Each structure stands twice: as structure tokens, then as C-alpha cells.
Structure 1
Amino acid sequence: MPKIKPFRGIHPSQANAGQVVINLENLSISDAKVIRQGNPYSFVNMLVPKLDNLFLMGSKNELAFKKINENFEDFLEKGIYVRDAKPAIYVYQVVRSGLVQTGIWTITSIDDYLNNVVKKHELTSADREQSLIDYLQQTGIDANPVLITYPAVEQIESIIRETTIKQAEIHFSKEESEHRLWKIDDEVTLNNLLNEFSKLSATYIADGHHRAAAASLLGIQRRKLNLKHKGNEEYNFFTSVYMSTDQLRIYGFNRLVKDLNGLSTNDILKSLEKNFLIKESGKPVNPEDIHEFGMYLEGNWYQIRAKSEIIQTNNPLAKLDVSILQDYILSPVLNISDPRTDLRISYRGGKLPLTDLVNEVDTGKFDVAFILYPTGIEQLLEVADEGEVMPPKSTWFEPKFDVGLLIHQIN
């Protein structure tokens, strides 16, 4: 039973929304600077601010955070951003390529993360956590929501449907996607929604483990420093979007490997014969079912299917395709024992065309590509329920949220 609560969201005005929000996926520093120069309304000003005077006292990070805070206050003063008068819970909807995904945008207690009420399935990196903690601590801007999922509940879906038939508070289109945001601030609907969420038996982080971890670690620090801590302060919560499992889409995370561990193509194929059925294909192999893989090696495609005897049906982690690939190919054949740290392996997620992976092999950047069938949402929930951790780069979830649409301020 997750603990959520309404909050006074800060969002762009309807007139500015399309200019403010930004997609962070694959955004480089140089790209951010170009956007900042051409669009003074972009949220990138709260990420990569222009420093007017580098000779001021303080480190570059200190000056950057100071400028971010100045920019944020400037956005509020000019009406680029608007703070809602009443605490609310929001409904967010994104439409891309005809796919409509809708969920509840709220804030979630850090205790739910710490106590595993919101279940995790991914390890986090201390370095990445610290950079997020520093940003939150210095700016108070909690703008990139954690994606949380749950088995669909009709009562919650009914509230979403009743809300989305009304006119949205914010509606804009950008980069072939359409975004809408509705506000729920009437007491009756809020209480109904809070009541339904309190009944949820299980919720799961789909995307955003580092953001949830960073917010929770900062919240613990703030609690220790606040002698009047009550538990309802904003630092006890992090921004989150709840979407039922049927709203999410998972795409495969494919692998590229450099260096065949001194093996020839024939050596590799012979090594795989013990545990896999192998069939050469005259066309690209995009797996159509679990336990099937595509392999592109020396200009040829192969369809590889795991033999039934290596599939551990009673082990939710070991039966994942990412685990089978690691345990029976990457580790024993190609000598990649730790895919988290081995520099020979690289990952390509989402909807990247297979032709891009082929090109990376054909140009010699990598030697072999492995194409995986997407991990199923049921598989992920099963692993999380067992308290296990998914192998690295197991899932590519959509939606990926644009940043700057709705801000929870923790200071």
C-alpha cells in the first residue's frame, strides 16, 4: 500500500509548455548548449545554465547551482512556470505513434522505497546517486518522475477515465508526441484516489531506480538535520508517475560485443551447439518469442533457440533471456564474466533499427551483435517479487518522460 499525497505542482503555462519541456534521452552537453542558445524558455536552463562570470567566488558546480536557482526563480516571476494554488494529484497522458499511455502523477513517500513497498529490480550506482543528490539538495527541483507500475485496478482506471474526458490543463505537441496534463484537486476525488492507492498490494519501479534512491538518501539526511521533522515535509516524497502494467511497453535491450575471445566463427557456432538450436538465416533475425535470439556475425544472420534442458522454469531470474545469453554464451564462450564492467560489451535499447547494429559490426566497431526478445512485464514482476535483481540492461521501458512538465519542489 504505497503512500502518495497531493502536492502543489509547478508547471509551464499553457502558452509556454512546448518550449519548456525537454527530452533528456541521449542529450549531450553540447546539444543542451545549442538548445539553450536558441530557446531561452527551455528547461535546459535548469540543467546546463549559462555562467555569465566564471571569476565569481566558488567552484564551477557551486556557480552552476546558483545560476540554476536564479533561472528557476526568473521563470516563476515571468510566468513561464506557474505554481498551483492548491495541492493536487495529476493525470498525465502521452501519445506517440498512435500509442496512448496514461497514468497518475503524484509524489511517493521515500519510506515506500526504503521499505520495499515499491519493489525494486535494479542495482544502483553510488556515483550516479550522488550527482542526483547534489542536484536535488542544491536546487530542490524534483522534475524527472520515477515510473511505477501496478496491476490495473478498475476503480483507479475509472477515475482516470472520468478525468480525461475533461479539458486538459496543459495540452501541447512536440517531436511527434502529444502531451496532456489534468489536475485533480477536489477533495472527494482526491480522497477516493488515495483510498484506492492504499489498497494496492504491490507496486514496482519500472524506470528511475537511481532517482528514487537519490531522493530517499537525501530525505534521510534532511530528517536527521530537522529537529522538528514530522514526516509530511516535501523532502519525504519524490515525484512519480503510476501507470498500470497494461499501459507500459517494454522493448528489447540488444548486445554488441568487441573481440571474439580469440575464436573463429566456426568455433563459436560449435560452442553454441550444445545448448542451442542454430539455423542460418538469409534475413535479419528479430526474435518473435522468448528464448529465441538473433546473432549477426561476419556478415551472416543466425537464429538461435535455447534448448529446453537449459531453461530453469522454476527460477524467475535464471530463465530470463538476458540471463540465458549471459550464462551460456557471453560468459563461457566470449569470456565476459561481468557485463556491468566489461568494456567489450555495449548495449543498444529501445526501437533502434537492426540496420544500425549491422552497421556497427560491418564497420569493425564490434564483432558480433545479439538481438533479444523483450523481457515481459510479468517476468519483471516475478523477479521483483522474489527480491532478486535483474541483470544489467534487461528492459527498455516506455514512456520515457520529458523533463520540466511538472515539478515537485522539495525545499
Structure 2
Amino acid sequence: MPRLKGFPGLIIKPEWVEKVTTGPYDAYTPEQRQVITSENKFSFLNVTRSFEDLPTEKQNDVEGLLNDCKEAMDHLYKTNVYQTFDEPSLFVYRIDIPHNGNTHSQTGIVGLVPVEDTGSFQILKHEEVRPERSDLMSRHLVTVEASSSPISLTCKNDEQLNKAINDCTLNNPVLVTEDSEMKQTIWRVAGETARELSELVSNKTLYITDGHHRMAAAEEALKKSRNRNEPLESTLAVLFPDNEMLVLPFHRRVGDIENRSSQELLKAINSVCEIEKSEDFLPKRDGEVVLYIDSQSYRVILPESNGNNLVSQLDVARLQEHILSPIFGVVNPGTHKLIDYVPGPLGVDVVKERCDKDLWVGFIMHPLNIKNLMDVAEAGELMPPKSSYLMPKPRSGVFVRDLNRENNIQ
């Protein structure tokens, strides 16, 4: 199987974009999802519902939940909201978003990648997954028989790949859609051009940047498949060259279980770190974070780690080692009840507003770069929870891979 192959894809029709497509599932609160799905039966959030969206008395009705998701997907098929392409195709996908007063643009290739590692092929990972989450996603994939949110991958860029992708954008797109948050443009690539494009990534190492749970779910679905169902041998992915990736941080907020005063906390932090008052709310370099406490910002220089692996040298790990664990008692940042993560796109103002409201302590992080992520993956290490926030995230419901249709075409 090639590393990136075409599929008979479905692309949302332009007139249905606003009604159907959504941001990522976890970009909404349960309350927001409830309002959207109750008011709009065409929203793709009806297809991606999870336990959080169920009333208390139905929390254990997994089968009912998944059947409802399938009905929502079937409703979209019957309403004919998608353009259909029977010939296996790759799709060049460009996303433009506003960022820091400018426009960030990245262009990648949407196709299928193998689910199983082989001796000559491997997709490198850097993040641990929660089995209960990947299990539900696996069952969702098998029941709904469709996927829409591609796993995000990256690879090392080269001029030949960049030129080939750009050449594809000289043709007429099959979709152009734009709103205040994002512009999306899609070009279909088939036949010999698709084969040549696939060949250009055949010798490249691929790295997951977003979608570890989706990959784990695809692996589990294949493992449990009785007939080694061919569509389950691959999964939907989008591959962006590394030089176009935008990496933002996850900022941290922590509550103090001991209810110490601001001065007591500052003294404790100053005992292990160099800190000074600052008018800046953004750290300028690696090894530096901005502490926000009692409506005042402080520049904090993190001590070097006592560890000797790559992950231990990252700012998120150094903050955890020297401050969050010993001072705030955050032993497991993935499950601790008094820690809150603020995605980079929400901005520093959200950190400040929340801290001013609940009197928690904010830590504004400097972003990792894509090389950090790739180096960690190559070393076989795992990042701490919420180490990076990759932008932009493809909209749900734009692409659909219909496994049942794919089986019939084959």
C-alpha cells in the first residue's frame, strides 16, 4: 500500500457549507453543542456526538448514541449535501486563517494512509492516548462507517514536493468557502498526477501532529475486524509540509489547594526560579514563561531540568518539574482537578479574565516549534498532556470518507 493513496471522496457542496460544517468537536462546550444540534439537524456535530452530549439517564447507552450518530450521517447522505467522486483521488487542501494581524496559509494533501506499521513504513507518534476515548471513537468508526476529521500529519518539506502541491492549485478548485475565521480551498487530484504526488512522499517519515486518538481508534477497528476489511486498513489524513505548520501553546492555569496568598505563592516560586515584574504578557523565548497572579504579570526563568531525555528539556516539562508538581501538587497534569488548559488561539486575555474571576494562577507559555515535536517522535518519547496546539484545524464535515460506499466501488 502506498504511503498516501487516493479514495472516492465526498466533498461538501458550497451551498451546504454553512449549514453542515463545524469546528472540531472539542472546540465547543457541551452546552454549545446542545444548542447547535437542537437547532440544526444538518450540523455535523450530530454525527460526532459523545457521552458528554447525553442526558445523565442515558450515559451508558453507547449503542443508542452510536446509532443516533449513524442516523445523522445517513440524513446528510439522503439530503445530498455532498459532491461525490467515484474515481480514487487525492485532494489538495489549503487553509487560510488570520493570525497576529496577518494571514497564515498552509497547503497539504488529503488522502488515505496505512493504519498498520510495516517494516518499511511507520507514522511516528508523540502523544499518549486514553483507551476509553479511542475505544468509543473506534466503535463510532465501525458503526457510522464514515470518517470526516483527517488525522493531521507533517513531513520534512522539499522543493520538489512544494512545487508539485502548488502546481495542483493552478487548476479549478472543487470547493472555495470563506468566513471570518477561515478560508478553505480544495482541488481534486486524480490519475497520473495523483500517483506522482503520492510517490513524492513515499520515502518520507510521517509524523502525527494532531489526531493520536483517531489513529488509535483506526488501529483498534482494524484489529477487531473479522474479515480484515480493506477500507479499515487505511485512515483519512491530511499531510502538511513542516515549514507551513503553525504551532501555538496551551497556557496553564492552576488553583491552589492550600489557599495561600499571592505573596506566599510568589515566595514559593521565587525560591526555585528567577522572577521579576514585567509589563509583557508573552514570553519571548524558550525557557521563559509569564506568571499571572493577582492581576500582575511576572517574567519567570525556568531552571534546567534534572532529566536527560528530550521531553524533560521542554518548557512544559520544566514548569511541571519545578513549579506545578512541588508547589501546587499537580502530580498528574492530565487528571489533576485544579488545572485548566487554555488553547493558544483563545489568547492571553482569556487567561487573565479567568484568573481574575476565580483567583487561580496563570502560566503563559512560549510555543514549541515543529522540530521539537518531530525530534520527540523520532526518539520514541511522549509529550506531556497539552504541550502544543496545532493550527489551523480542518473543519468537520468538509471531507467525508464513506467506508460502505468505498467497499461497493471496489
Is the Cα contact below 8 Å between 2:44 and 2:396 reproduced in 1? yes
1:366 to 1:236, Cα distance in 2 relative to 1, 3 A? farther
Letter paired with 2:350: D
Rounded to whole Å, the distance in 1 between the matches of 2:305 and 2:28 is: 39
Is the Cα contact below 8 Å between 2:91 and 2:110 reproduced in 1? yes
Rounded to whole Å, the distance in 2 between the matches of 1:306 and 1:70 is: 51
Counterpart position of 1:291: 287
Counterpart position of 2:202: 198
Counterpart position of 1:246: 243
- Aligned with residue 209 of structure 1, among 198, 207, 212: 212
Letter paired with 2:87: K
Counterpart position of 1:301: 297
Is the Cα contact below 8 Å between 1:272 and 1:329 reproduced in 2? yes
1:2 to 1:153, Cα distance in 2 relative to 1, 3 A? farther
Q: Per-residue displacement from partner, 1:297-356 (whole Å, max 9, x unpaired)? A: 22322111135xx25796321110001101111112222222122111111112223232
Correspondences of 1:10-409 after superposition (within 5 Å): 10-24=10-24, 25-48=26-49, 61-97=62-98, 98-112=103-117, 117-186=122-191, 188-200=192-204, 202-222=205-225, 225-226=226-227, 229=228, 233-259=230-256, 261=258, 263-281=260-278, 283-307=279-303, 310-311=304-305, 315-363=309-357, 365-409=358-402
Q: Per-residue displacement from partner, 1:380-401 (whole Å, max 9, x unpaired)? A: 1111111110011100111112
Q: Per-residue displacement from partner, 1:204-229 (whole Å, max 9, x unpaired)? A: 1001100110011111111xx11xx4
SS of the residue corresponding to residue 287 of structure 1 reads: coil
SS of the residue corresponding to residue 132 of structure 1 reads: helix
Unaligned runs of 5+ residues in structure 1 are 50-58
Is the Cα contact below 8 Å between 1:92 and 1:181 reproduced in 2? yes
Is the Cα contact below 8 Å between 1:113 and 1:213 reproduced in 2? no
Q: Per-residue displacement from partner, 1:142-161 (whole Å, max 9, x unpaired)? A: 11111001111222211210
Letter paired with 2:110: W
Is the Cα contact below 8 Å between 1:14 and 1:169 reproduced in 2? no
Unaligned runs of 5+ residues in structure 2 are 51-59, 405-410
SS of the residue corresponding to residue 14 of structure 2 reads: coil
Is the Cα contact below 8 Å between 1:41 and 1:80 reproduced in 2? no
1:297 to 1:104, Cα distance in 2 relative to 1, 3 A? same
Rounded to whole Å, the distance in 2 between the matches of 1:390 and 1:347 is: 15
Counterpart position of 2:56: none
1:265 to 1:115, Cα distance in 2 relative to 1, 3 A? farther
SS of the residue corresponding to residue 41 of structure 1 reads: coil
Letter paired with 1:277: E
Rounded to whole Å, the distance in 2 between the matches of 1:270 and 1:68 is: 52
1:69 to 1:345, Cα distance in 2 relative to 1, 3 A? closer
Is the Cα contact below 8 Å between 2:302 and 2:319 reproduced in 1? no
**Scaled by the length of structure 2, what TM-score is found?**
0.88
Deviation at 1:125, TM superposition (A): 0.3
Q: Per-residue displacement from partner, 1:50-108 (whole Å, max 9, x unpaired)? A: xxxxxxxxx95444444443443343344212321200011111111121111000111
SS of the residue corresponding to residue 344 of structure 2 reads: coil
- Which of the pair is proportionally richer in helix? 2
Is the Cα contact below 8 Å between 2:2 and 2:198 reproduced in 1? no
Deviation at 1:33, TM superposition (A): 4.2
Is the Cα contact below 8 Å between 2:111 and 2:236 reproduced in 1? yes
SS of the residue corresponding to residue 328 of structure 2 reads: coil
Deviation at 1:284, TM superposition (A): 4.3
Is the Cα contact below 8 Å between 1:94 and 1:178 reproduced in 2? yes
Deviation at 1:30, TM superposition (A): 4.1
Rounded to whole Å, the distance in 2 between the matches of 1:331 and 1:70 is: 46
The percentage of counterpart residues that share the same residue type is: 26
Rounded to whole Å, the distance in 2 between the matches of 1:318 and 1:265 is: 28
Letter paired with 1:354: V
Deviation at 1:115, TM superposition (A): 9.1
**Scaled by the length of structure 1, what TM-score is found?**
0.87
Rounded to whole Å, the distance in 2 between the matches of 1:2 and 1:317 is: 32
Rounded to whole Å, the distance in 1 between the matches of 2:194 and 2:130 is: 36
Is the Cα contact below 8 Å between 1:253 and 1:395 reproduced in 2? yes
SS of the residue corresponding to residue 129 of structure 1 reads: helix
SS of the residue corresponding to residue 92 of structure 1 reads: strand
Rounded to whole Å, the distance in 1 between the matches of 2:339 and 2:402 is: 39
Rounded to whole Å, the distance in 1 between the matches of 2:119 and 2:351 is: 39
1:130 to 1:313, Cα distance in 2 relative to 1, 3 A? closer
Deviation at 1:261, TM superposition (A): 3.9
How many residues of Structure 1 are paired with residues of Structure 2 in the alignment?
390
Is the Cα contact below 8 Å between 1:90 and 1:184 reproduced in 2? yes
Rounded to whole Å, the distance in 2 between the matches of 1:183 and 1:119 is: 27
